[in-house]
Amino acid sequence: MKRRHFLQTTATATVLPTLLGGLPIGAYGFSPELFDITGGATQTDRVLVLIQLNGGNDGLNTIIPTDQYAALMNARADIAIPQNQVLPLSAVTGIHPAMAGVKNLFDDGKIGVVQSVGYPNPNYSHFRATDIWTSASDSNVTITSGWAGRYLNSEYANYPTGYPSATNPDPLAISIGSVVSNCVQGPAVNMGMAIASTASFYQLLSGGVDVAPNTPAGHELTFIRQVISQTQVYTTAIQAAAARARNLSPLYPTAGQNSLADQLKIVAQLVAGGLQTRIYVCNLGGFDTHATQVPTTGSTTTGTHATLLGKISQALEAFQDDLRRLTVQDRVVGMTFSEFGRRIKANSSKGTDHGAAAPLIVFGTSVNPVIHGANPVLPANAGVNDQVQMQFDFRAVYASLLKDWFRVPQATLNALLPSSIGQFPYMPIIRPSVVAGTSAANTSVAAFSVYPNPVRERATVEFESEGGHVQVVLYDALGREVARLLDRKLPAGLRQIPLDASALAAGSYHCHVQEGQRVSSRLVVVE
């Protein structure tokens, strides 16, 4: 294609989504109504982060009903996590040992778990089930728009007329990753800007483009990408936001090792940089574990599923630590979701097949840090068709988040989330003190983290002292003190205490920090 012909044919298409990194992009502005509700670009702006786990996550090996181990072992002895290696969340509920970071966040009041989330008459097709979850439709009804897209459309009238502008300069939603989520698809247009990869984001900041082949077609492709980059209306706003903040957490893994952590790192930087974007969608794939969910030989705590759960855990712990260091932690809440869970009974390939309900995780300093609902009830001898039964409709989670986090009126919620079953029950996903606009007393030690974790030989225990006598003690799995790292008065300020683990046996330990009435504990894994 001639360059002049390319410009002529695209000049009349300015209202259509363009491309960024090879994926469709449509980025839209900021609502005066939402500005009034949430305080606009101030520190009280509220952000929602959605993490889509593509493939169907096995909930029974993620959030584990420790009160039903006999039934678990009867159904999935080949893949079940040994009971003595499950990390406890409560007396009857545990979490996969690969999720030590999420366990730490739960102990610190930054994680909530919603048990057995699903919908009536579940669909077991990846494509249809994903459509149902992202559109918030009944299983027998097709809705082409996304639930978050409809919400944004209700707030941002008359798009695309007048967007962007001096008062509405930023994209309303950003979808990061190889999958462009339908969550932010509006009734007519997509309400989100798509960044195909973390590499695309950093090229956006630097003005570079993907390398194309050194051929005539490659040269044209490079030119097209340059034109797109030059005409992208939100590039300047994103570059400015990214320039105003830098990631501070040492818990992020090396770039490229954990794609979810890479995505959340971008979110933290843009939120801290003041971008007025309201919703971010990230994704992690690989959860369709029909075969070799665990290794054919060796421990069931390792393998494909453990690696994926470890990535979620590592990413969330680093993200929350980064938000805290950037002083924007109270502005952000998020949730994970997958298109379905897996069957109770394992298959003959050390895997699990498509199932129904599964738990989801909500995260942030403003979430209600409890386990919502009871453990799923498992049959003593599950058959191949037995399913985890739904306790909570996923749309009740959506409605409650929109109601309490974005202050969406009930009448609007009913219109945004239509269903044959009527209005969805309310769930206290957000802390009551946040909903009421009050502050709960802080009884935990601020800014407490241990890194790196797992520990090879040495680590750092970091926390914020208010000025007083501090004890830092390391206990083994049986509750025996193995090291007293600190036991003296400290001045106020951020403190970093060395942890020498070179003489410790491999295993799980708890690092306990106490200052006055404030107490926090972290699970520490020594390798």
Using one digit for the tens of pLDDT, what is the confidence trace for 239-280? Answer: 889 999 999 999 999 999 999 999 999 999 999 999 999 999
Cβ neighbours, 10 Å, residue 27 = 28
Q: Examine the domain organization and report whether 362 and 498 are in the same domain.
A: no
* Positions in the chain whose pLDDT score sits under 50: 1-44, 227-231
368, HSE (Cβ side, Cα atoms, 13 Å): 19
In a domain, 41, yes or no: yes
Q: Examine the domain organization and report whether 454 and 409 are in the same domain.
A: no
In a domain, 441, yes or no: no
Q: Examine the domain organization and report whether 76 and 206 are in the same domain.
A: yes
**What pTM was computed for the model?**
0.82
In a domain, 462, yes or no: yes
Q: Tokens for 380?
A: 């003593």
Residue 67 buriedness (CB in 10 A; 0-12 / 13-18 / 19+): middle
Q: Examine the domain organization and report whether 409 and 356 are in the same domain.
A: yes
Dmax over Cα atoms in the chain, in whole Å? 75
In a domain, 442, yes or no: no
Query: What's the rounded Cα separation, in Å, for the pair 485 and 473?
Result: 6
Q: Examine the domain organization and report whether 361 and 455 are in the same domain.
A: no
Q: What is the pLDDT at residue 30?
A: 32
Q: Examine the domain organization and report whether 329 and 264 are in the same domain.
A: yes
Q: Examine the domain organization and report whether 422 and 465 are in the same domain.
A: no
Q: 294 near 9, Cβ under 8 Å?
A: no
Q: Identify any residues that bridge with 511 across adjacent strands, giving them in sequence order.
A: 474, 522
3 state DSSP class of 526? strand
Cis peptide before 452 (omega within 30 of 0): yes
Domain boundary among 401, 436, 471: 436
Q: Examine the domain organization and report whether 347 and 202 are in the same domain.
A: yes
Query: What's the rounded Cα separation, in Å, for the pair 427 and 424?
Result: 9
Q: Examine the domain organization and report whether 218 and 135 are in the same domain.
A: yes
In a domain, 443, yes or no: no
Query: What's the rounded Cα separation, in Å, for the pair 112 and 103?
Result: 10
Q: What is the pLDDT at residue 441?
A: 57
Q: Are strands 358-363 and 111-118 parallel, antiparallel or unpaired?
A: antiparallel
Cβ neighbours, 10 Å, residue 253 = 15
In a domain, 185, yes or no: yes
Domain boundary among 436, 463, 491: 436
The phi, psi pair for 150, rounded to 5°, reads: -65, -40
Q: Examine the domain organization and report whether 385 and 483 are in the same domain.
A: no
Q: Examine the domain organization and report whether 397 and 509 are in the same domain.
A: no
Q: Tokens for 129?
A: 């089930």
Which amino acid makes up residue 39? G
Domain boundary among 413, 436, 459: 436
Q: What is the pLDDT at residue 169?
A: 82
Which string of b and e fits 388-412 if b means at least 16 CB within 10 Å?
Answer: bebbbbbbbbbbbbbbbbbebeeeb
In a domain, 444, yes or no: no
Q: Identify any residues that bridge with 284 across adjacent strands, giving them in sequence order.
A: 53
pLDDT digits (tens, 9 = 90+) for 280-333: 999 999 999 999 999 999 999 999 999 999 999 999 999 999 999 999 999 999
Q: 66 near 203, Cβ under 8 Å?
A: no
Q: Examine the domain organization and report whether 478 and 427 are in the same domain.
A: no
In a domain, 39, yes or no: yes
User: For the chain, how many structural domains are there in total?
Assistant: 2
Q: What is the pLDDT at residue 222?
A: 64
Which amino acid makes up residue 448? F
* Domain region containing 456: 449-526
Q: At 454, which CATH number?
A: 2.60.40.1930
